[in-house]
Structure formats: structure tokens, C-alpha cells
């Protein structure tokens, strides 16, 4: 059995048993191998399951160094985007997971957003560039939320977690069609940029 498959199987077993301590231990042990697991994941096509576990590691705060945190978030994002390209059966849950990742770990994506879209601002005013990057990430969240509302309106109404996130986003939620298109483009470009980074 591949190392990734073994990791996924152990994590699945602890999750199904409700063993949070065991799951945390397995996730923590996997963090140093995150890049190797990611490369196996790309070969095996286990994007959704792997990204879910990376998100759990972040939410449980198992990472110790900021560099680890950033890499976990970026790898989770790449795998989520790869999974979403397959039009998964659990589309709602995967989009929701991407919204959660970008919402709670927005800071980990600001450097990449600045590098891709805001180099000029970075040279003149790093604080302004950071503020614009966070606004862009908020629009990316709103774009996903808008898609969920359009296709899963009955579910989002009862989803307290997503409703809490909507209330936390400081940008006005009424994005124009052009802003929605730009947010979707940002998703695609950020995905391509990070995928190339971890090639």
C-alpha cells in the first residue's frame, strides 16, 4: 500500500470511530510528509479526501511553523480546485470547504495573491497591497457562496457555518457580474500558480 493510501486509511478509520485524538496524531505525523503525499495524491487522484485532511490539520492547529501552515493551506487549495474540476457528487461540501479554507486562512494566501495580481502595489505600499489581497480573497469566497446559493439554495439557508461566514465577510455581498467573473478568474489563476509552485 502506498504511503498516502496508508495515511488516508488510518485517518478514515479514526474519523469513523470518532477518535479525535487518534486522528490528530495521524494528521500531525503526516505534516512533515505533506509534499510527498501531495505528489502521490496527484498520481492517485485522491484530491478531495487529501484536501479534507489538510483542512482538518489546519483547523485543529496541528502545524507549528508558519511555513508549514502556508504550505498546508496552499496544497489543500490546489487539491480542492482539482477535485472541483471533476464535478464531484458532493459539490456542495467541496465548495463549502473551499469557502472555509479561504475564510479562516486568508492570511496564508495574501502573498500569492500579491505576487500574481498586485506586484505594483507591493512596491509602493505593502499595507495597501495586503488590504487589496484580502478584499480579493473575500470576493473569491462570495463567488463560491453565490454559486452555492444559485444551485443549493435550500441547503445554504440551513447551514449555520456558511451563514456565519457570510455575516463575517466585510465586503458588500452584492457583487456585479463582472466582479463574479473576476473572482472566478482569480480562482483559476491562483490554482494554476500554486499547482506550478508544487509541481
What value, to the nearest 5°, has the Cα angle with vertex 40 and ends 38 and 45? 90
Average pLDDT over residues 159-167: 92
What pLDDT does 179 receive?
93
Q: Is 70 exceeded by the pLDDT of residue 83?
A: yes
Average pLDDT over residues 100-113: 96
H or E, element range at 143: helix 126-151
* pTM of the predicted protein model: 0.93
CB 58 within 8 A of CB 76: yes
Q: Binning pLDDT at 50, 70 and 90, where does residue 126 land?
A: confident
Average pLDDT over residues 11-40: 94
78 and 123 housed in the same domain: no
Average pLDDT over residues 131-151: 94
Average pLDDT over residues 90-113: 96
47 and 124 housed in the same domain: no
Q: Is 90 exceeded by the pLDDT of residue 54?
A: yes
Question: What is the separation of C-alpha 76 from the centre of its chain, rounded to a whole number of angstroms?
Answer: 5
Average pLDDT over residues 48-67: 93
What pLDDT does 84 receive?
93
CB 133 within 8 A of CB 107: no
What pLDDT does 97 receive?
96
176 and 118 housed in the same domain: yes
What pLDDT does 87 receive?
80
3-state secondary structure of 80: helix
* Alpha-carbon distance values, 62 to 23, 25, 66, 90, 166 (Å): 11, 9, 11, 26, 26
1 and 61 housed in the same domain: yes
pLDDT digits (tens, 9 = 90+) for 170-198: 887 888 999 999 999 999 999 999 999 99
Q: Backbone phi, then psi, for 87, in 5-degree steps?
A: 50, 65
| Domain end call among 44, 62, 88 | 88
109 and 55 housed in the same domain: no
CB 171 within 8 A of CB 138: yes
Task: Say which residue the cell 487549495 belongs to.
Answer: 77
| Domain end call among 36, 58, 88 | 88
What value, to the nearest 5°, has the Cα angle with vertex 181 and ends 132 and 98? 70
64 and 118 housed in the same domain: no
Q: Which is more confident, 87 or 20?
A: 20
What pLDDT does 109 receive?
97
Q: Which domain holds residue 154?
A: 91-199
Q: Binning pLDDT at 50, 70 and 90, where does residue 122 land?
A: low
106 and 41 housed in the same domain: no
Q: Is 70 exceeded by the pLDDT of residue 1?
A: no
Distance CA 123, CA 53 (A): 36
Average pLDDT over residues 45-60: 93
Instruction: Give alpha helix (H) positions in the chain.
Output: 3-16, 20-30, 34-44, 47-59, 66-85, 91-104, 110-117, 119-124, 126-151, 153-156, 160-168, 177-197
* Alpha-carbon distance values, 23 to 71, 97, 103, 165 (Å): 20, 19, 23, 26
Helices 3-16 and 20-30: angle between axes, nearest 10 degrees: 160
62 and 130 housed in the same domain: no
Burial class (CB in 10 A: 0-12, 13-18, 19+), 107: middle
Amino acid at each position: 500500500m502506498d504511503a498516502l493510501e496508508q495515511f488516508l486509511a488510518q485517518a478514515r478509520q479514526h474519523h469513523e470511530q470518532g477518535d479525535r485524538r487518534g486522528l490528530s496524531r495521524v494528521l500531525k505525523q503526516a505534516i512533515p510528509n505533506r509534499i510527498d503525499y501531495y505528489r502521490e495524491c496527484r498520481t492517485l487522484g485522491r484530491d478531495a479526501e487529501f484536501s479534507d485532511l489538510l483542512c482538518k490539520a489546519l483547523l485543529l492547529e496541528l502545524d507549528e511553523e508558519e511555513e508549514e501552515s502556508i504550505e498546508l493551506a496552499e496544497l489543500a487549495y490546489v487539491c480542492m480546485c482539482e477535485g472541483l474540476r471533476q464535478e464531484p457528487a458532493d459539490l456542495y461540501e467541496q465548495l463549502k470547504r473551499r469557502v472555509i479554507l479561504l475564510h479562516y486562512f486568508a492570511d496564508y494566501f495574501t502573498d500569492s495573491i500579491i505576487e500574481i495580481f498586485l506586484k505594483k502595489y507591493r512596491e509602493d505600499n505593502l499595507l495597501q497591497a495586503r488590504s487589496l489581497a484580502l478584499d480579493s480573497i473575500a470576493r473569491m469566497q462570495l463567488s463560491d457562496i453565490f454559486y452555492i446559493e444559485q444551485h443549493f439554495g435550500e441547503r445554504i439557508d440551513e447551514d449555520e457555518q456558511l451563514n456565519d461566514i457570510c455575516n463575517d465577510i466585510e465586503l458588500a455581498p452584492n457583487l456585479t457580474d463582472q466582479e463574479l467573473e473576476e473572482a472566478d478568474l482569480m480562482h483559476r489563476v491562483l490554482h494554476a500558480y500554486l499547482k506550478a509552485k508544487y509541481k
